Amino acid sequence: MFDKVIEFSAHEDYYNSKEDYPIPAKLNIPEWFKKIPHSIEKKTIKGCMPFLDTLTSGYILKIPQDIKIDHNVLNKDNKPDSFYRFSMFETKEFIDKNMNLNVLSDHHPTMQVEGSPFIEKNKNLPFYKILNPWKIKTPKGYSCLFISPLNNSDDRFSIISGIVDTDTFPNEINFPIVINGDKYPTLNTIIKKGTPYVQIIPFKRDSWQMKIKPRKSKEIQNSRLFYSLVLWNNYKDNFWNKKIWK
């Protein structure tokens, strides 16, 4: 039934701890979505299959350890600064596990994304990278899209999205984060271990060519007429394809 396997592997000690394994995204559906009513009389987003697909596609990574963040606060020189404190100390044991330490060696300076909207959102401060203990492996010819959980992200921060050829890349993939300075000009918070923060969507690398063409009025009228004939679950029953992620 399953043609493809995505493999997550971690240092044996971290793996054996059974802490915050990756999960299918379908296990991370927000409570507000589960509770929202949906009926013929009151159609809501709960009946929108394209929206549901965003919540259930791929896999979720969780923050591997508590992170104390004080962002855009004044330092000892009375200048805006950002401070991160993790629940581990600097030892080779934790470095081997690709865990976050209390030595800030993984900052990205703002010059690396000069001119981007990330800089203003992050309050002109360096970007910290969250170390991820899981190595990700996909079959030959498959890459992964890494994004903040679609329509379900933490409002305090987001990752900088990326695509990695996970069939060939041999190491763990780490994730720079952007603090949501639009909502939190100053942020003092703890991001708890187990917080979902990355959605992984594997895809096959194909070559594409764009084609642009007109549509005839009759074709548009016929397709809209067909779609309007069914009152309930038209897209789900006639157009949608079920996706399976385990």
Q: In the chain, where are the structural domains located?
A: 7-213
Nearest to 178 by CA among 134, 133, 120, 101: 120
Residues 6+ apart with CB under 8 A from 115: none
- Averaged pLDDT, 206-223: 92
Cβ contact 198:175 at 8 Å: yes
**pLDDT band, very low/low/confident/very high, at 232 (cuts 50, 70, 90):** confident
The Cα–Cα gap between 131 and 108 comes to 13
Which two tokens mark 4? 């493809």
pLDDT digit string (tens) for 18-37? 889 999 999 999 999 999 99
Identify the residue whose tokens are 């104390």.
Answer: 68
Mean pLDDT check: name the lowest of 69-78, 176-185, 197-206, 232-241.
232-241
Share of the chain above pLDDT 90, in %: 74
pLDDT digit string (tens) for 130-169? 999 999 999 999 999 999 999 999 999 999 999 999 999 9
Which two tokens mark 18? 């059974």
pLDDT digit string (tens) for 109-124? 889 999 999 999 999 9
Strand partners, 200: 59, 146
- Averaged pLDDT, 54-71: 96
User: pLDDT: is 227 or 90 the higher one?
Assistant: 227
**94 pLDDT more than 80:** no
**209 pLDDT more than 90:** yes
User: pLDDT: is 160 or 104 the higher one?
Assistant: 160
Model pLDDT, residue 95: 65
- Averaged pLDDT, 187-203: 97
Cβ contact 174:106 at 8 Å: yes
H helices of 62-172, in order, are 92-96, 117-121
Model pLDDT, residue 3: 81
The Cα–Cα gap between 76 and 84 comes to 15
Going by the DSSP 8-state scheme, the letter that residue 203 receives in this structure is: E
Angle, vertex CA 152, rays to CA 148 and CA 155, nearest 5: 75
Model pLDDT, residue 233: 87
**105 pLDDT more than 70:** no
**pLDDT band, very low/low/confident/very high, at 100 (cuts 50, 70, 90):** confident
Residues 6+ apart with CB under 8 A from 208: none
